[in-house]
Amino acid sequence: MAITLIEEAVRAGARCHKACEVLEIDVRTLQRWKKALQEQDRLEDGRKAAAVGRAPPNKLSEAEREAILDVCNRPEYQSLPPSQIVPRLADQGEYLASESSLYRVLREADQLHRRGRAQAPRTVAKPQGFEASGPNQVWSWDITFLASSIRGAFYRLYLVEDIFSRKIVGWEVHEEESAEHASVLIRKTCLAEGIHEDGLVLHADNGGPMKGATMLATLQRLGVVPSFSRPSVSDDNPYSESLFRTLKYTPMYPGKPFESIEVARQWVHRFAQWYNQVHRHSALRYVTPSQRHSGVDTAVLKQREAVYEAARQRTPQRWSRHTRNWEPVESVWLNPPKEHQANKGKTLKAA
């Protein structure tokens, strides 16, 4: 029938490949059919898509399916998965079907559920995304370990970062983790940054100090909106993780454990000063976090743009198209939505 329809369309003036597209077949398929028609009287569609709806020759019979369900529901097998049932049956000299067949039969009978006391895996929704278009809008904080001179003992570094400017706005070093220490740190940081209005977002992971009652009560009094990562998903808190990597891989990080908590605090103080005042951050067009936080990064980047443009005017043959992009980064996202990531990808591709 397909050959006849295509031949009629071709005689009426249609292109052969266009007629094949209407029937969703390839020209090569049509040629094979015509060749087979010349060699034999009866044609059979050998395409994979045409096999949909046919009963496979190795399909289990209804009796075999019932036997599988009866075996899987025996008391000795009812709490075991097919991967455990099939080998046990083989040890007894019995074979019903493969593991995949058992899984399929149980699924169709609505009996493919987690067996035993293990909880089923749950899907946790991605946390809400927040956009920071200025300093002191979205903060990220976390706790990391600093090795001490006592084997097996560590100091805890509490560190708060502004994701817009990447500035370290608050930190403390303690010997233990507690919601009380975190609460004090957040109060001091809000006081130092002059946070008087509601709306600041504080993002953290799901640790005990982050979700402690004292901490949550402090955030409520300060008007700070808490935000938390999904369990075991470090990408939900990327800014703190990135900062901790910078801290521990900087050349100034000591090669030996800290001798005391005072020494650890002195070192973190020097690191915070360097990071905020000296370090040029790659995600901020290589301005320092303090410049970004105070708003002087725009003037710094304009000066760089003028320097590059002057260099281009002196030796235009060394510049293929344009100078380096020194436009300030307008906003920063924490856990951006999918549409923002898609738009960002299109922008980068166009550039």
Query: Which pLDDT tens digit goes with each residue over 245-257?
Result: 999 999 999 999 9
Query: Which pLDDT tens digit goes with each residue over 177-224?
Result: 999 999 999 999 999 999 887 889 999 988 888 888 888 888 888 889
* Distance set, CA 215 to CA 188, 196, 197, 209, 231 (Å): 13, 18, 18, 7, 19
Token duo for residue 350: 């166009």
Q: How far apart are CA 187 and CA 169, in angstroms?
A: 12
* pLDDT of the residue at 265: 97
CATH number of 130-351: 3.30.420.10
What value does the mean pLDDT take over residues 152-158? 95
Residue 276 has pLDDT above 80, yes or no: yes
What value does the mean pLDDT take over residues 72-82? 89
Contact of 132 with 113, CB cutoff 8 Å: no
What value does the mean pLDDT take over residues 160-172? 97
3-state secondary structure 145-187: EEEECCCCCEEEEEEEEECCCCCEEEEEEECCCCHHHHHHHHH
Query: Which pLDDT tens digit goes with each residue over 329-342?
Result: 999 998 888 776 55
Q: How far apart are CA 294 and CA 290, in angstroms?
A: 6
What value does the mean pLDDT take over residues 66-84? 90
pLDDT above 90 coverage of the chain, percent: 55
Among 48-62, 248-262, 301-315, name the one with the lowest average pLDDT: 48-62
Half-sphere exposure (Cβ direction) of 342: Cα atoms closer than 13 Å = 3
Q: Domain extents for the chain?
A: 2-45, 63-108, 130-351
Put simply, whether the predicted model's pTM sits higher than 0.75 gets the answer: no
What value does the mean pLDDT take over residues 64-84? 91
